[in-house]
Amino acid sequence: MDMPPLTELPGQPPGPRLAFAHDRQSIAEIAETLAALANAHGGAVVVSGGRGTHLAALHNPAAATELVLAAALSCTPPLIIPLPQLVVYHEIPVLVVEVPAGLPYVYAVNGRYLRREGASNQPLSPAALHRLFSERADLGWERQIPPGASLKELDDELVRAYARRVGPPAGDDPLALLTRRGCLIDNIPTNAGLLLFGRDVAARFPQAELTLVRYHGREPADIFERTDICAPLPEAIRRAERWLNDHMRKGSRMVGLEREDWTQFPPGAVREALVNAVAHRDYSSRGEGIRITMFSDRLEVYSPGRLPGHVTLENLRAERFSRNPAIVQVLADLGLVERLGYGIDRMLRQLAAAGLPPATFRETAAGFLVVLPGQPMAEAVPGGVDTSAWRRMGLNDRQIAALLFVVEQQRITNRDLQEMHPDVSAETIRRDLSDLVNRGLLLKVGDKRATYYILK
Q: Tell me, what's the pLDDT at 382?
A: 42
Q: Which residues, 6+ apart, have CB-to-CB distance to 189 below 8 Å?
A: 145, 149, 150, 151, 153, 154, 183, 197, 198
395: which residues sit within 8 A by CB, 6+ positions away?
A: 403, 436
Return d(Cα 229, Cα 242) in angstroms, integer. Answer: 12
Helix locations, 393-425, DSSP H: 397-409, 414-420
Q: What percent of the chain has pLDDT over 90?
A: 56
Higher pLDDT, 259 or 182: 182
Helices of type H across 263-311: 267-280
How far CA 127 is from CA of 34, 123, 130, 132, in Å, comes to 22, 11, 5, 9
Query: Residue 122: pLDDT above 80?
Result: yes
The pLDDT of 119-141, averaged and rounded, is 83
pLDDT at 120: 94
Give how far the C-alpha of residue 213 lies from the chain's centroid of Cα atoms, to the nearest Å: 21
pLDDT for the residue numbered 216:
84
In this prediction, residue 208 carries a pLDDT of: 95
Cβ–Cβ < 8 Å for 358, 220? no
Residue 314: pLDDT band (50, 70, 90) is confident
In sequence order, what are the residues at sequence separation of 6 or more whose Cβ sits closer than 8 angstroms to the Cβ of residue 143?
Answer: 77, 182, 185, 190, 191, 192, 326
Residue-wise pLDDT for 18-42, tens only, equals: 999 999 999 999 999 999 999 998 9
The average pLDDT across 427-436 equals 93
Q: State the Cα angle at 338 between 337 and 344, rounded to 5°.
A: 90
Contact 402, 452 (CB under 8 A): no
Q: What is the pLDDT of residues 271-293, one digit of tens each?
A: 999 999 999 899 988 888 999 99
Per-residue pLDDT at 380 exceeds 60:
no
pLDDT for the residue numbered 217: 86
Q: What is the pLDDT of residues 63-100, one digit of tens each?
A: 999 999 999 999 998 998 888 999 999 999 999 999 98
pLDDT above 70 covers what percent of the chain?
92
Q: What is the value of pTM for the model shown?
A: 0.70
Higher-pLDDT residue of 5, 120: 120
pLDDT tier at 321, thresholds 50, 70, 90: low
- The residue that leads in pLDDT, 260 or 53, is 53
Contact 266, 354 (CB under 8 A): yes
pLDDT tens digits, residue range 325-351?
899 999 999 988 865 555 788 899 999
pLDDT at 383 over 50: no
Judge whether residue 219 has pLDDT over 70.
Answer: yes
For 371-388, what is the mean pLDDT? 67
- Confidence (pLDDT) at 137: 61
What is the pLDDT at residue 407? Answer: 76
Mean pLDDT of 138-158: 88
Closest alpha carbon to 320 in 23, 7, 12, 40: 40
Average pLDDT, the chain: 88
